[in-house]
Amino acid sequence: MPGKTCRRKTVRHKAVRTLVHGYAALLVRGRLWDGRTVPLVAGRYGPEAGPALPLVVLGDSSALTVGVMEARHTNGARLAGDLVAEWGCAVDLDVPARAGVTTAGMARQVEDVAARNKPGVALILIGGNDVMVPVSLRRSAARLGYYVRLLRASGWEVVVGACADIGAAPALRRAVRGPASRRSRVLARRQAAAALRAGAVVVSLSMEDFRHQPERLYCPDGFHPNADGYLLYERRAAVAVSAAAGRLPAVTPREPAGRPDEVFPDGWEAARHVTREPGACFVPAQAGGPVSLHRYRPRQRRDAATCPSPVTTAP
């Protein structure tokens, strides 16, 4: 029976991917890049010896970093480098993300990570495909909340990047852009509410840069960001990932950005602001409890060439 159930899930996930690709042909001009060109970046970053902080990046093409050609420009490598520099320990990076998946299709990623013996920080970037296909956004957000609860019950600290504005992509046909932007905002708020209630740190990925400077921030397919575009997301996600790392039992607790700029009584109220506060980090005191908002403040960045490279390759 377990094998039969697994086969049914595989067939269902393949059907969803086929649906996504089919809709993409109708809604997007030109051919989209896929995940086959993304460099492999899993492995250990920082000191070869000593304890390491596990970091996993789950989700769709935005988590996989489809649109970049160099390993040092991927979300995973950049975040691992930031954590090594900030915390001084090694980082064991894994990127189970898959291009083309919806929230429903990433269940296996989450289940595999939840089953690991050594928990750490899990970053979830998902939602673009949910926006583009006719699925229930309410159900997608509910599934995301379930994934957060499953990971946290296994000891993981979770960061969720609330859905960015998919409608800003220049590759979208003109009639699609408005509805895609509206669905993106609705999903971002629902994702934030569900994730905060489940105890995840949430980062707002809403920003106008992609709409105003598409030629600078998108890769040649006009849908996925390029290295500069992903850097905008990573800079904001890095604050939330560091805040989540500071909540792990083995790490000295630390506030993400000093005193909060605002405190909301619960996740529902905080979620209303996730599309109004570009780059903000939302940190729940506990699942279902008050939420602290930390507005985005640029940090001094290291040159990408100085980011540590993996010293080992994950099996």
Judge whether residue 22 has pLDDT over 80.
no
In the prediction, which pLDDT does 49 show? 85
In the prediction, which pLDDT does 300 show? 59
The per-residue pLDDT for range 69-102, each reduced to its tens digit, is 999 999 999 999 999 999 889 999 999 999 989 9
Judge whether residue 231 has pLDDT over 70.
yes
Average the pLDDT over each of 188-197, 216-225, 247-256, 304-313 and give the range with the smallest value: 304-313
Judge whether residue 314 has pLDDT over 50.
no
- Determine what percent of the chain falls in helix, strand and coil, rounding each to the nearest 5: 45, 15, 40
The tokens 């934030």 sit on which residue? 192
Average the pLDDT over each of 34-38, 146-150, 303-307 and give the range with the smallest value: 303-307
pTM: 0.88
Q: Is the separation of the CB atoms in 145 and 197 below 8 Å?
A: yes
The mean predicted confidence, pLDDT, of the chain is: 88
Q: Kind and range of the H or E element at 191?
A: helix 174-197
**Residue 108: Cβ-neighbour burial (10 angstroms; 0-12, 13-18, 19+):** middle
Judge whether residue 262 has pLDDT over 60.
yes
Judge whether residue 271 has pLDDT over 90.
yes
Write the CA distances from 173 to 24, 28, 60, 215, integer angstroms.
10, 6, 22, 16
Between CA 31 and CA 140 the distance in angstroms is 26
**Residue 23: Cβ-neighbour burial (10 angstroms; 0-12, 13-18, 19+):** middle
Judge whether residue 265 has pLDDT over 90.
yes
**Which is nearest to 128 in space by CA: 162, 171, 163?**
163
In the prediction, which pLDDT does 83 show? 94
The tokens 């001009």 sit on which residue? 29
The pLDDT-based confidence of 20 (bands split at 50, 70, 90) is low
In the prediction, which pLDDT does 84 show? 95
Average the pLDDT over each of 183-192, 193-202, 250-259, 289-298 and give the range with the smallest value: 250-259
- φ/ψ of residue 314, rounded to 5: -65, 145
Pairing status of strand 121-125 against strand 157-162 = parallel
In the prediction, which pLDDT does 292 show? 95
The pLDDT-based confidence of 286 (bands split at 50, 70, 90) is confident
Judge whether residue 130 has pLDDT over 90.
yes
The pLDDT-based confidence of 19 (bands split at 50, 70, 90) is low
**Which is nearest to 313 in space by CA: 48, 10, 29?**
48
Average the pLDDT over each of 45-54, 228-237, 247-256 and give the range with the smallest value: 247-256
The per-residue pLDDT for range 191-213, each reduced to its tens digit, is 999 999 999 999 999 999 999 99
Beta-bridge mates of residue 263: 292
The per-residue pLDDT for range 170-197, each reduced to its tens digit, is 999 989 999 999 999 999 999 999 999 9
In the prediction, which pLDDT does 50 show? 85
In the prediction, which pLDDT does 146 show? 98
Judge whether residue 107 has pLDDT over 90.
yes
Q: What is the mean pLDDT of residues 242-267?
A: 81
Judge whether residue 13 has pLDDT over 80.
no
